[in-house]
A and B are shown apart, each in its own frame.
Chain A
């Protein structure tokens, strides 16, 4: 067994906390401990003061965020008009897809109060993943499951409210 699993020599440390946080996140839930330790190690905690942007629409910051503490607002600007999508709270994980490939953000995330996040950068993530070739299919499966579940839930719960937008659905068919 690895020493970290019967960690008696060390006082509680940030690395251990990060590891536990990641274990509870869907995206990482299928990772073997060996891999997750590396990811937890490569993460960084960052504090965003109220009003600061965690990421901005149209930019590719290449980071995934796990909100540890505080609150942030997801919003989108279209032709000068700002729409608030929703609020993100502690425990929420944003940006799994960002880790897999570079695309500009469709939303901005703004700290509504002082917010602490666990951040992992795509570049570090990619290098870590390369060390564990078996992991990619597991990540893809977690993502596919998540997208399908989302759409399934939307269809059963919200389809009636949707009206004309139904014909645009089918993300899980991509």
Chain B
């Protein structure tokens, strides 16, 4: 939002009509004027064809009038199309601009606003509610002008033909203009009632479904029937009334416009018989009369869009009409670079309902000092941190950062000087790197400098990854990446070499945790497909995901007697997985041990439904293919919802040999079979180093493996490369592919990378294990003390000993403050708290 502009929520709907659209709207007007002319022209031609060409039997006149008629019709339709095009552009532009404007505005609203607002409400407002208002914007000039002009033109033409007849036949319209709004009021009234009753009905349904146990247990069908039927009947009545009103508008409109020809016939016929009106004029009059109907109908429609649009627009904007608490940008000056001192004087914070969460807080920190805020939940420590960070607007008193009042600083000033790590940090969909650089990019954003020049270097990033302890996680993501062919040729070469060193140096030590690729053994941590092919395909058609539809492979399965048992394995897998996961809200965690991915779940639900009615052999080809696909993915070591029958295991091992033989003969080069000297493109980097797969996910084993691998990668100078690959890891929606600890470490790394003068950490290490927590504490003490001011809300008291200051909060006040040792010696509240822990 630029300075001095009216906030979007205060703009009227009409202001959108010309905003940024002046050119297009003028173009529309021009189109309309020509279009109206081309609409009237055929009428005149009609008259002349009858009166002049036909009456006087002149072929040449007939041809030229018909020519003009045809040209006018073509032009009128062409222009109509052009008209719709421009209108659409204006409508869509208005929709997009309204959405963007409102979205930008909503993001700046105070946090308190969002506590009472459902995300669904915001989504609905942005996605649905603005459509009708935008439709109105698109039509606002075109519809009234073109239709009124057309009406006037036709009316003028009618008057020219015969003023008396015109006056009488047009006298109908004022009656309609008078009656329509009256009926429309009824429509609106009924519509509002309909919406309300429909809502009540929905919540009644929701209630009875969630209470179905009680209903069935009590056999209370009668009671529930009566409740629901009452509402359904009420809705029925309202809907009938609503529809009657709507049809009333339509019918009345139709009736009156339908009266037009009647009047023309009776009066015009009389005049023509009397010789006061030519026959041609009568025909033209009838045509014109009929053509009045379309623009008139469009006008009525426009009127309805206008009514609904205004209602929707005002309701939406009123809902979001809340003032942002702080300006986004500083006015007429560059953002302040503050010195990191914090001064809090008589600070108060009251909720809108008058509850005092902070009361008379006083404290002062020199630049670089570290303060721990402790106390029970609800004592106000987070609130204080949020007030200092400008996320809450304090209601009285002062917070000064570098001698500037926080309430008067812009967001930009804060962003440049403050870093914030919250208790449950939010991670956005995208790569790890994007999330890591989120704060840095946001800080640089909008300063008119190219963002990339000011971003931290890879070395900076790696240093922070180490400091925050997320390094190993990133390394693991890197190691779990499947490299694309031709992309990292050098790396691939080195990795194949590393594999030998690994086997030599660590093979024995890790043998318990790794299932090595062995041609003569069934691999429980590899899929059925991998067990069968025991190699990586060089052809798209033989990729694991395509095998179930590969004709050659399907024939092979038949020959190896595998089709039938695999299908029934697929059936078992699909049934069990759908049974377990079918009703859960999709989350990456639930699908880690599932052969069905989150996206496929709905498809497989259907296939499971089909299986209830049909035997396996009766299923359609597609269903069978999907089941086969599932069976081929089955990895007994991971997917525990089904077992691998011994018989099938033997068949697959036999199949492996058969497949190798067959494909080597039929299509040599289609597969490269697993062998020590070759990189396997279908496997992750780690599996390539192992020449096998890890068997367990236990943290203890993981750590052991990590240590060996890091050692190995350092020796081979590969660490940085793998980290770079790992940073491209996609963290999933809301970062759901990361653990709570990883998310928190990522958030801390994000703040550290920005290296702010003041760092606010709100229980920022609560999800970390002891080691990680200690590492971060240590880092704060050694690298950040005397450089950055730290305000940390702390839950675990074992970490606060070395803070410069500890403030114990109780009921919104600072109960005691001093160094850790001072407070413990006082035997006051901190002493109590520490004792209890």
Partner-B contacts on A (CB < 8 A): 2-4, 9-15, 18, 34, 37-38, 41-42, 44, 46-49, 52-53, 58-62, 102, 104, 119, 123-124, 127-128, 131
Contact of B641 among A13, A34, A60 (CB under 8 A): A13
- Given A9-B571, A14-B643, A104-B770, the answer on whether A34 and B739 have CB atoms closer than 8 Å is no
Contact A52 B700, beta carbon cutoff 8 Å: yes
Q: DSSP majority for the B interface?
A: loop
Q: Name which residue of chain B comes closest to A105, CB basis.
A: B770
Q: Name which residue of chain B comes closest to A46, CB basis.
A: B698
Q: How far is the CA of A69 from the CA of B25 in the complex (A)?
A: 80
Q: How far is the CA of A53 from the CA of B590 in the complex (A)?
A: 27
Most buried by A among B580, B581, B584: B580
Contacts of B698 in A (CB 8 A): 44, 46, 119
Interface size of B as a range = 20 to 34
Contacts of A3 in B (CB 8 A): 575-576, 579
Contact A11 B580, beta carbon cutoff 8 Å: no
Q: How far is the CA of A42 from the CA of B700 in the complex (A)?
A: 19
Contact B583 A34, beta carbon cutoff 8 Å: yes
Partner-A contacts on B (CB < 8 A): 512, 568, 571-572, 575-576, 579-581, 583-585, 587, 589-590, 593, 640-643, 645, 696-700, 739-740, 766-767, 769-771
Q: Name which residue of chain A comes closest to B701, CB basis.
A: A46
Contact B770 A13, beta carbon cutoff 8 Å: no
| Complex A-B: 11 CB contacts under 8 Å | A9-B571, A10-B641, A13-B642, A13-B643, A15-B580, A18-B640, A41-B593, A41-B641, A52-B700, A60-B769, A127-B587
Q: Name which residue of chain B comes closest to A14, CB basis.
A: B640
Q: How far is the CA of A58 from the CA of B593 in the complex (A)?
A: 30
Contacts of B645 in A (CB 8 A): 11
Q: How far is the CA of A119 from the CA of B593 in the complex (A)?
A: 14
CB distance from B735 to the nearest CB of A (A): 13
CB distance from A122 to the nearest CB of B (A): 8
Contact of A123 among B589, B593, B696 (CB under 8 A): B589
Q: Name which residue of chain B comes closest to A59, CB basis.
A: B770
Contact B576 A15, beta carbon cutoff 8 Å: yes
Contact B572 A10, beta carbon cutoff 8 Å: yes
Q: How far is the CA of A100 from the CA of B576 in the complex (A)?
A: 28
Contacts of B589 in A (CB 8 A): 42, 123-124, 127
CB distance from B651 to the nearest CB of A (A): 15
Contacts of A127 in B (CB 8 A): 587, 589-590
Contact B770 A9, beta carbon cutoff 8 Å: no
Q: Name which residue of chain A comes closest to B594, CB basis.
A: A41
Contact B576 A4, beta carbon cutoff 8 Å: yes
Contacts of A119 in B (CB 8 A): 698
Contacts of A38 in B (CB 8 A): 580-581, 584, 590
Closest 4 CB pairs of A and B: A13-B643, A14-B640, A11-B643, A10-B572
Most buried by B among A14, A49, A53: A14
Q: DSSP majority for the A interface?
A: mixed
Q: Name which residue of chain A comes closest to B646, CB basis.
A: A11
Contacts of A14 in B (CB 8 A): 640, 643
CB distance from B716 to the nearest CB of A (A): 29
Known: A15-B580, A128-B590. 6 other contacts (CB 8 A): A10-B576, A11-B643, A44-B697, A59-B769, A60-B769, A127-B589
Contacts of B641 in A (CB 8 A): 10, 13, 15, 41
Q: How far is the CA of A129 from the CA of B584 in the complex (A)?
A: 11
CB distance from B118 to the nearest CB of A (A): 17
Contact B587 A9, beta carbon cutoff 8 Å: no
Contacts of A52 in B (CB 8 A): 700
Contacts of A102 in B (CB 8 A): 766-767
Contact B642 A10, beta carbon cutoff 8 Å: yes
Contact A12 B590, beta carbon cutoff 8 Å: no
CB distance from A41 to the nearest CB of B (A): 5
Contact B642 A37, beta carbon cutoff 8 Å: no
Q: How far is the CA of A13 from the CA of B512 in the complex (A)?
A: 23
Contact A37 B579, beta carbon cutoff 8 Å: yes
Q: How far is the CA of A61 from the CA of B771 in the complex (A)?
A: 11
CB distance from A163 to the nearest CB of B (A): 23
Contacts of A104 in B (CB 8 A): 770
CB distance from A42 to the nearest CB of B (A): 7
Contact A2 B584, beta carbon cutoff 8 Å: no
Q: How far is the CA of A3 from the CA of B571 in the complex (A)?
A: 12
Q: How far is the CA of A47 from the CA of B740 in the complex (A)?
A: 25
Q: How far is the CA of A12 from the CA of B641 in the complex (A)?
A: 9
Q: How far is the CA of A52 from the CA of B696 in the complex (A)?
A: 15
- Given A12-B643, A14-B643, A127-B589, the answer on whether A4 and B579 have CB atoms closer than 8 Å is yes
Contacts of B571 in A (CB 8 A): 9
CB distance from B739 to the nearest CB of A (A): 6
Q: How far is the CA of A53 from the CA of B703 in the complex (A)?
A: 13
CB distance from B212 to the nearest CB of A (A): 13
CB distance from A168 to the nearest CB of B (A): 13
CB distance from B163 to the nearest CB of A (A): 76
Contacts of B587 in A (CB 8 A): 127
Contact B769 A37, beta carbon cutoff 8 Å: no
Contacts of B769 in A (CB 8 A): 59-62
Most buried by A among B575, B698, B769, B770: B698
Q: Name which residue of chain A comes closest to B645, CB basis.
A: A11
Contacts of A46 in B (CB 8 A): 696, 698
CB distance from B777 to the nearest CB of A (A): 14
Contact B580 A41, beta carbon cutoff 8 Å: yes
Q: Name which residue of chain A comes closest to B512, CB basis.
A: A49
Q: How far is the CA of A52 from the CA of B740 in the complex (A)?
A: 26
Q: Name which residue of chain A comes closest to B589, CB basis.
A: A127
CB distance from A19 to the nearest CB of B (A): 10
- Given A3-B575, A38-B580, A59-B770, the answer on whether A11 and B696 have CB atoms closer than 8 Å is no
Contact B575 A41, beta carbon cutoff 8 Å: no
Contacts of B584 in A (CB 8 A): 38, 128, 131
Q: How far is the CA of A12 from the CA of B645 in the complex (A)?
A: 9
Q: Name which residue of chain B comes closest to A124, CB basis.
A: B589
Q: How far is the CA of A85 from the CA of B696 in the complex (A)?
A: 29
CB distance from B794 to the nearest CB of A (A): 14
Q: How far is the CA of A59 from the CA of B741 in the complex (A)?
A: 14
Contacts of B581 in A (CB 8 A): 38, 41
Q: How far is the CA of A48 from the CA of B699 in the complex (A)?
A: 12
Contact of B642 among A11, A47, A123, A124 (CB under 8 A): A11
